[in-house]
Amino acid sequence: LPHGQLGNRLCRYKNYNFLSSYTTAEYIDSLQSFEIRDSDVFLVSYPKSGTIWAQQIITSIYELDGHVNEYFINSQKMPWLEYTGGEYTRRPSPRLFTSHLPQVLMPPGLMDKKGKIVYLMRNPKDNMVSYYHFSNSFADLETPQTSSWFDHVREWYSNRDQYNILFLTYEEMILDLKGSVKKICNFLGKDLTEAAISQVVEKAKFENMKNDSKANYEHLPPEQFSGKFLRKGQIGDWKNTLTVAQSERVDQVLWEKLGDLPLRFIWE
Ligand code: A3P
């Protein structure tokens, strides 16, 4: 989480804040010895990059052969690694996890290209706008003062050679959902028929997902979250929100922080 004021709703581990209602510093620390299986699949992203969208795609893929139970909600099918409460060692392989953890806090067992990571990113202006709306309707979050988006992307991207990792962007998912599903299948070694791919694509469409109670996160209690995870679902909403000066400031920080990396983002 971005560094906000630390109330009793947040706990801290090595400069990072976590929601106390979901985890503890001790648990985050224990992930350093979390045993990775080579079959493990992790979806990793900075919050508001389209995580639950990719989560819907990946869980749908593993539902086709019955590996994932379709009667569970997505956060049970593919739980957040950093939250306590999962009996992860008992899960059958391949285990599916979701995570917002920065690279330094992920289980080191993933290095040497063990397991598989799908790393999702979104252009920082839309990511910021989405986060702004999210933090306004999520009771436990302060309005972020700074953003660790740049560090998250930088650390994961610059350490990519140590991981078996697929980089995917929110924008390419918007522009070519079917192509993105195929890319994910390819990476996960899943050889799906055209009909199966269409089924996954259909379930991942904005309107369908918005009405899918297993996927839309509307199970969160309203006193905790009063907004919508599926809000606008577009590229370029930042143009309706950021001033020209704010947009230029993001351009400048992006250049300073990530300008040396071969990352290019789609803005509209
Ligand atoms: P907006 O707030 O810009 O609408 P995360 O899952 O990481 O919290 O990201 C949430 C963002 O992903 C929201 O962005 C949400 O609308 C978008 N999103 C979720 N599912 C989507 C889908 N099926 N198609 C397009 N965008 C989707």
| pLDDT, average across residues 9-22 | 89
User: Which ligand 1 atom minimizes the distance to the CA of 120?
Assistant: 7
Pick the range with the lowest mean pLDDT from 34-43, 54-63, 197-206, 221-230.
221-230
73 Rama class: left (phi>0) / alpha (psi -120 to 50) / beta:
beta
**pLDDT of res. 44:** 98
**pLDDT value, residue 1:** 44
Q: What is the pLDDT of residue 210?
A: 98
| Residue 99, beta-bridge partner list | 44
Lowest mean pLDDT: which of 78-87, 119-128, 191-200? Answer: 78-87
The rounded distance, in Å, linking the Cα atoms of 31 and 127 is 27
Residue whose tokens read 């953003």 = 147
Residue 47 near ligand 1, beta carbon < 6 Å:
yes
Sort strands 16-19 and 41-45 into parallel, antiparallel or unpaired.
Answer: unpaired
Adjacent-strand bridge partners of 116: 41
Q: Is residue 197 part of a domain?
A: yes
Buried b (16+ CB within 10 A) or exposed e, 139-149: ebbbebeebbb
- Domains contained in the chain, number: 1
Does residue 209's CB lie within 6 angstroms of at least one atom of ligand 1? yes
Q: What CATH number is given to the structural domain containing 254? A: 3.40.50.300
Mutate to test the pocket of ligand 1, among 43, 49, 52, 78 (most ligand atoms within 8 A of CB): 52
Whole-number pLDDT of residue 15: 87
- The answer to whether position 28 is within a domain reads no
Q: Tell whether 144 is covered by a domain.
A: yes
Predicted pLDDT at 100? 97
How many angstroms is it from 231 CA to the middle of ligand 1? 7
Q: Specify if 185 maps to a domain.
A: yes
Residue nearest to ligand 1 atom 27, measured at CA: 233
**Contact between residue 227 and residue 137 where contact means Cβ atoms under 8 Å apart:** yes
Q: What is the mean pLDDT of the chain?
A: 94
Cα dihedral 250, 252, 256, 257 in deg (nearest 10): 10
Tell me, using a 6 A CB cutoff, whether residue 231 lines ligand 1. Answer: yes
**Position 4 confidence tier, pLDDT thresholds 50, 70, 90:** very low
What percent of the chain lies above the pLDDT cut of 70?
96
Q: Which 8-state DSSP code applies to residue 143?
A: P
Containing structural domain, residue 44: 36-258
- CB crowding 235-251: b at 16 or more within 10 Å, else e: bbbbeeebeeeeeeebe
Could you tell me the distance, in angstroms and rounded to a whole number, from the CA of residue 229 to the centre of ligand 1?
6
| C-alpha distances out from residue 19 to 12, 132, 212, Å | 9, 17, 26
- Alpha-carbon span 187 to 182, nearest angstrom: 9
**The CA-based dihedral angle spanning residues 93, 19, 52, 164, taken in that order and rounded to the nearest 10 degrees:** -50
Q: Is the pLDDT at 94 greater than 80, yes or no? A: yes
Q: Is the dihedral of CA 82, 106, 119, 163 positive or negative?
A: negative
Nearest CA residue ID for atom 12, ligand 1: 50
Average pLDDT of the segment spanning 67-73:
95
Residue 27 lies in a domain: no
Q: Which pLDDT score, from 0 to 100, does residue 6 have?
A: 53
Residue 21, in any domain of the structure: no
d(CA 61, CA 191): 10
Residues forming the active site: 100
Has residue 93 been placed in a domain? yes
To test the ligand 1 pocket, which listed residue (202, 229, 242) has its Cβ within 8 A of the most ligand atoms?
Answer: 229
Residue 8 belongs to a domain: no
